């Protein structure tokens, strides 16, 4: 009986922990739903999932790494309207390298925030040491 009670209690604790993990004030979303936002705007058309830069843009791991060194405000502004940043030195170098200007993809602020989250999650993943 005691054993049964303990296992029921630990199940309840487990359930509440995973529930909290999923909801987390409504801010944390699953990686796949964040990836969905990135894909819906056509970002992956130029930023591929392979560890390879395409001719139309740097690979997703590369842009995630670049974004990691910028402020959140900068990245959101870039995602919503890149042309405001075309004159910045590092962006100019990228434009020269890819011979391409990232276009305005009509991303709204809420979705830009989700894409920012997505890029930071990717950046922290690829930041792990390979064995
Ligand atoms: C037509 C191709 C194209 C599309 C579509 C595109 N990008 Fe880009 N992106 C680029 C190129 C090219 C660069 C490098 C800078 C430049 O040349 O404008 C870049 C750079 C970036 C960077 C790095 C900026 C930095 O920190 O230096 C981020 C982040 C980024 N893109 C995110 C996105 C997101 C998010 C979307 C979808 C909303 C998207 N891109 C759609 C071509 C594209």
Does residue 106 line the site of ligand 1, with CB under 6 A?
Answer: no
Give the atom of ligand 1 at the shortest distance from the alpha carbon of 85: 18
In a domain, 19, yes or no: no
For 118, the domain range is: 33-123
In a domain, 9, yes or no: no
Structural domain count, the chain: 1
Say which CATH number the domain at 79 has.
1.10.760.10
How far, in Å, from the CA of 114 to the mean position of ligand 1? 15
CA distance 57 to 22: 33
Per-residue pLDDT in tens (0 to 9) along the chain, 131 residues: 565 555 544 444 444 444 434 444 456 789 999 999 999 999 999 998 876 666 778 999 999 999 999 999 999 999 999 999 999 999 999 999 999 999 999 999 999 999 999 999 999 876 554 44
CA distance 82 to 106: 11
Is the Cβ–Cβ distance between 101 and 95 less than 8 Å?
Answer: yes
């Amino acid at each position: 009986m005691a054993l049964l009670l303990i296992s029921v209690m630990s199940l309840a604790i487990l359930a509440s922990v995973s529930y909290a993990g999923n909801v987390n004030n409504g801010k944390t979303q699953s990686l796949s739903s964040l990836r969905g936002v990135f894909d819906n705007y056509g970002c992956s058309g130029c930023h591929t999932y392979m560890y390879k830069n395409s001719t139309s843009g740097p690979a997703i791991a590369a842009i995630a790494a670049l974004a990691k060194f910028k402020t959140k405000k900068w990245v959101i502004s870039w995602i919503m309207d890149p042309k405001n940043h075309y004159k910045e030195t590092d962006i100019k170098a990228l434009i020269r390298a890819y011979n391409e200007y990232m276009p305005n993809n009509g991303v709204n602020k809420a979705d830009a925030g989700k894409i920012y989250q997505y890029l930071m999650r990717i950046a922290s993943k690829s930041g792990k040491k390979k064995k």
